[in-house]
Amino acid sequence: MANSKKQQLLFAALELFVKQGISNTSTASIAQAAGVASGTLFHHFTNKQGLIDALYRWVKEGMSDGLVTSLNLLKQNSDALDHQTYQEALFRLWFESMNWAVTHPLHTRFFYRYYQNQQVTPSLQSNLENRMLQQLEEVLMLGAKNGWLLDMPMDLLRHHCYQMYLSTSQFFLEQPHLWQNPNYQQSAFKCFLQSIERA
């Protein structure tokens, strides 16, 4: 079946890329790991770069999907929003993101490692990136408008939040058992919240 082989190839590539790096992984070995002939890979993807980009898109969309739900919930009730509800919404967003990272180690590692690396076509990368940053900005605007957040330039704030999400998820990804530890879980969020709240 067409789609099945394509999926198998993507998944095999994900595993190998994370384990050994993209440039150390030959298309032949991907095909083999997927249980597919080497020529078949080039039926589904125009070339190795095409496979890399498709994989990146696939992974990134998986990451976004989880967030979009939480984000929409928050934006629906944006008219009558009090400070506490906003904080709780931020927490849910944060929590879901971390949870997704810890439960999808391969995806997260791949994304994190090839984020801003020339091995993924840069234009594709920044397109997907911008979509996510834009959504994040909407959420932050809600808080800034109400004076709940630090008075700082929005682009810097947005960058900071995004990077804190990336770096914290990376921390828990490396040590998943710490994500089960309430002290770590709460400290991480407190640190995040404190970094952006108006003092």
Residue 28 in the binding site for a copy of itself (CB under 8 A): no
Per-residue binding string, a copy of itself, 107-146, x by CB under 8 A, is: -----xx--xxxx---------------------------
Residue 76 in the binding site for a copy of itself (CB under 8 A): no
C-beta separation of 188 from 95 below 8 A: no
Per-residue binding string, a copy of itself, 80-109, x by CB under 8 A, is: ------------------------------
Residues near DNA (CB under 7 A) are: 1-2, 4-6, 25-28, 35-40, 42-44, 47-49
49 binds, among a copy of itself, DNA, none (CB under 5 to 8 A by kind): DNA
What is the closest distance, in whole angstroms, from the C-beta atom of residue 38 to DNA in the complex? 5
Question: Which of 3, 4, 84, 183 forms a contact with a copy of itself (CB under 8 A)?
Answer: 183
Question: Which of 22, 59, 71, 93 forms a contact with a copy of itself (CB under 8 A)?
Answer: 22
Residue whose CB is less far from DNA, 42 or 171: 42
CA distance 55 to 58: 5
148 binds, among a copy of itself, DNA, none (CB under 5 to 8 A by kind): none
